Amino acid sequence: MRTEKRKRTEEAAVCAGTADAPPGGPAAGWRTAVGSALGLACGPSVLAVMTFGMFIAPLHQEFGWGVPAIGLGASLLSLTVVVVSPVQGVLVDRFGGRRVVLCSAPFFALALAAMSLLPDSLPVFYAAWVLIPLCGTGLWPVSYLRVTAGWFDRGLGLALGVANCGIGVGTVLVPVLAAALIGAFGWRAAFLGLGATALVALPAACFLLVEPSPRAARAEAVGDTLGAAATRRPFWLVLGAFLLLGAVGTGVVVHQIPLLLDAGIAPRTANLVPVALGLALVVARIVTGWLLDRFTAARVMTVHLLGGVVAVLLFAAGPNVPAALLAAALAGMLIGAEFDVLSYLVPRYFGRRAFGRIYGVAFSVFQIGGAVAATAIGVSRESHGSYTPAMLALAAACLLCAALFRGLGPYRYDGRTPPAPEAPPHLPHAGREAELPANQGAAADGDATPAPER
């Protein structure tokens, strides 16, 4: 009886923000955010997705495969992630992100390196792009973001921005590495280099990632289950928005270089334009995280989506080099905001109890949008002889996506103004404790203090 009473008292304190700081304090939280950034910089979101378009031209030249046939590989990658992401969410919620990362990294590195042995066979090519995301199951963003989010409530947006900026850093550096390897040694050597780069996730997870303490973990028990979240309107608005974001982001990333080549830009220059996208990604991760702590996600995403409209309209016009750089930068700002916003929306609208599962479902829907767009844009290019119709469709998708974000409404779990938890009958003071402001008696900024729903 005494144990149960003490447990409920601690849970009330956690919910009210009055619990002691977890061991390691904010230093452990920021260390985890930096380790997450390093892991994401060499994860499949960069090494598989962001570099896929760089191999379209070399594979077409060597094997004679058409652009739509090669683009189908990106669609298969996305569809595999659709299946993988919910499974990853369950694993991360159960075992923690660090263990899942450590188990996946070696297999993902081997799968990428094995692409250097690719024969002249489309079925083998397609099978490889199913195997690669399967081997990287634990390396998609939710593993890192759940660990990072577990340390923070105040400052959550900035912490997630720091973690997510790893994808931007990787998008800047990895294409330069891949382009240099393709130019000097060929595309097979480039895949070997990417496989070696993937191994960086191992020391990042071993020495930098820190799972939240038991006290912070108890705070994560507050919120909706996946089933409860699915009964709420924001859940479906989020899924619809990320379906469209997947189509826009993947469509631009996969077809950016072939589109620039169609516009008459030299191959070497076209291969470097994604660096502008990557630099914008880095800026967007940090800036978006900072903005999310001050403005609603709907406002932040509306601005980014309007920039996305301008970007795809520039691509539709067949850009010269300056216009291509501007379009890539605007697209990078939008793509850079996507997962900052998703990882922020989940705890704010649904709590932290099923963070991995809810994030995994949304990430799967995102990949469905990407899979459809990667193939559909290639087919449109072959049918019309131009990327213009597909880019106009993406502009319309950006506008519709902005409307979905505007319909989300206020946050339900706002760490600054938490609703009071329901007090057990034999804890007469719990309700009074819960009415304290979120910052009264709270630990340092690295403390996790989610606000429960009444």
Each residue's pLDDT, cut to its tens digit, for the chain (454 residues) gives 444 444 444 444 433 333 333 444 568 888 888 889 999 999 998 899 878 888 988 999 889 888 788 888 887 887 888 888 888 888 888 888 889 999 999 999 999 999 999 999 999 999 999 999 999 998 988 888 888 887 777 778 888 888 888 887 887 788 888 888 998 899 999 999 999 999 999 998 888 888 876 555 555 567 788 889 999 999 999 999 999 999 998 888 878 888 888 888 888 788 778 778 878 878 888 888 889 888 999 999 999 999 999 999 999 988 888 898 899 889 989 988 888 898 889 888 998 888 888 988 998 899 888 878 888 888 888 888 888 999 999 999 999 999 999 999 898 886 544 443 433 434 344 343 333 333 333 333 444 434 433 3
Q: What is the reported pLDDT for 448? A: 40
Q: What is the reported pLDDT for 379? A: 86
Q: Cβ(152)–Cβ(29) under 8 Å?
A: yes
> 155 by DSSP, 3-state: which?
strand
Q: What is the reported pLDDT for 435? A: 37
Q: What is the reported pLDDT for 213? A: 63
Instruction: Estimate to the nearest angstrom the gap between the alpha carbon of 28 and the chain centroid.
Output: 22
Q: What is the reported pLDDT for 422? A: 37
At position 404, the amino acid (one-letter code) is L
**Any idea which residue has 């009055």 for tokens?**
18
**Measuring CA to CA, which residue among 174, 198, 175, 171 is closest to residue 54?**
175
Q: Cβ(187)–Cβ(58) under 8 Å?
A: yes
CA of 371: how far to CAs of 170, 226, 251, 270, 391, in Å? Answer: 22, 24, 9, 23, 16
Q: What is the reported pLDDT for 154? A: 75
Maximum Cα interatomic distance, the chain, rounded to a whole number of Å: 76
Q: What is the reported pLDDT for 149? A: 80
Q: What is the reported pLDDT for 216? A: 53
Q: What is the reported pLDDT for 303? A: 93
Domains of the chain by range and CATH? 25-410 (1.20.1250.20)
Distance CA(189)–CA(97), nearest Å, equals 31
Cα distance from N-terminal residue to C-terminal residue, the chain: 25
> 223 by DSSP, 3-state: which?
strand
